[in-house]
């Protein structure tokens, strides 16, 4: 078995792993990233595209802000429709000028992959049999198989950025971890189509037939979603059926402007809320989806991963730069405080805007009243906007 050494071994080459690796490499902390999928697969994954300002600043610090600012779309508001009514949430006006950036996660990943190659960062793709060892001590290591060769990576710390189904969280003894989960009784059927978006801002639609979302990746590529049954099959939905159902859930003046076309990507995403506590186990730190999942309604998945990266980067920088462990020891507590706020917000938006098949009439009326109050109250809209643009970190 070949043995190599690094300061931080990062499991997973998604946006969080690549972002953390770049931030560390740029200040002289050595990292190795191992990823079970191929590079082509990593770059083909279609994910969310709304970035909080905190995530934007981290990407700038990682040296990948150029294309984002050139091609990304700054949004200072979004719409919530309720049957035929349209209400605009003025993010900038309600938060003192803050906004969000619409820039696809695939593009974020591509920019970080290119930046890592430019700065000679080491990433191994299509890695098999990843296992984490000796997490309780100060000399952990990772074993894996790279291109058929057995490899051992000695390190000081391991960052588990390998998602919900990755090896990192599985390496933690069940007795040492506590999990919280809510599975929602519906999914999102989503399509990508090379058609202009129906609006220059996102539209969240609450309708008696179910939720819908109109978003975009650019001014020529649209991303649309409709709430569907949890057990639905993609094969049961043709493009024509999707467009027809989406139009039904939008106010007529919006539906009439909808440009339709063939989809080139179609998927059904289950919705769940999940949190694992704590987020540190000895020399292992969980980051992003390895520690928490949120429904996409509040656009918090990638943004929560970015705040995790921020807290962990600060801790590792102080540890290796100043031999100061205080921030590293506080990582789990700091990250989880923000995670739970975002989990609450995502749960709240999901509950308020969707139709639950098992809700009694009383529950339906309460949620209708919650939405009406939110859209009528300046204080409630301000709270919505504050959470949507991202709480500080």
Kindly list the catalytic residues. Answer: 75, 204, 296, 300, 388
Cβ 54 vs Cβ 15: under 8 Å: no
- Cβ neighbors of 366 (< 8 A, separation 6 or more) are none
- Cβ neighbors of 299 (< 8 A, separation 6 or more) are 48, 50, 100, 388
Longest dimension (CA), the chain: 65
- Cβ neighbors of 63 (< 8 A, separation 6 or more) are 22, 26, 115, 119
Q: Kindly state the helix (H) or strand (E) to which residue 4 belongs, with its residue range.
A: strand 2-5
Q: Which two tokens stand for residue 345?
A: 């917000």
Spatial separation of the C-alpha atoms in residues 306 and 174, rounded to whole Å: 26
DSSP 135: T
Cβ 274 vs Cβ 293: under 8 Å: yes
Spatial separation of the C-alpha atoms in residues 311 and 295, rounded to whole Å: 22
């Amino acid at each position: 078995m070949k043995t190599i050494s690094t300061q931080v071994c990062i499991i997973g080459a998604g946006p969080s792993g690549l972002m953390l690796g770049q931030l560390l490499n740029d200040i002289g902390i050595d990292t190795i990233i191992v990823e079970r999928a191929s590079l082509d697969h990593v770059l083909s994954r279609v994910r969310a595209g709304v970035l909080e300002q905190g995530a934007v600043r981290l990407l700038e610090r990682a040296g990948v802000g150029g294309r984002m600012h050139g091609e990304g779309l700054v949004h200072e508001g979004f719409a919530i429709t309720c049957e035929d009514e349209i209400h605009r949430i003025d993010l900038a006006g309600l938060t003192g000028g803050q906004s969000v950036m619409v820039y696809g996660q695939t593009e974020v990943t591509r920019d970080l992959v290119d930046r890592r190659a430019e700065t000679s960062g080491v990433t191994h793709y299509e890695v098999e049999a990843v296992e984490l060892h000796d997490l309780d001590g100060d000399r952990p290591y990772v074993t894996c198989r790279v291109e058929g060769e057995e490899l051992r990576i000695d390190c000081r710390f391991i960052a588990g950025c390998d998602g919900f189904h990755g090896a990192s969280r599985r390496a933690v003894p069940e007795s040492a971890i506590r999990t919280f989960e809510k599975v929602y009784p519906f999914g999102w059927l989503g399509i990508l189509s090379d058609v202009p978006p129906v609006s220059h801002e996102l539209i969240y639609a609450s309708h008696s037939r179910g939720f819908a979302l109109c978003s975009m990746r650019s001014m020529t590529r649209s991303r649309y979603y409709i709430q569907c049954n949890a057990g639905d099959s993609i094969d049961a939905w043709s493009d024509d059926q999707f467009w027809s159902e989406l139009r039904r859930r939008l106010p007529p003046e919006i539906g009439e402007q909808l440009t339709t076309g063939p989809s080139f990507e179609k998927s059904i995403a289950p919705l769940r809320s999940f949190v694992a506590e704590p987020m540190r186990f000895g020399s292992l730190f969980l980051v992003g989806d390895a520690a928490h999942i949120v429904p996409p309604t509040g656009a918090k998945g990638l943004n929560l991963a970015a705040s995790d990266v921020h807290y962990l980067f600060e801790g590792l920088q102080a540890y290796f730069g100043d031999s100061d462990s205080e921030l590293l020891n506080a990582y789990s507590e700091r990250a989880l405080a923000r995670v739970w706020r975002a989990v609450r917000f995502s749960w709240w938006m999901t509950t308020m805007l969707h139709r639950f098949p098992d809700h009694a009439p009383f529950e339906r009326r309460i949620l209708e009243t919650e939405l009406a109050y939110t859209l009528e109250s300046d204080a409630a809209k301000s709270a919505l906007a504050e959470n949507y643009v991202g709480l500080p970190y």
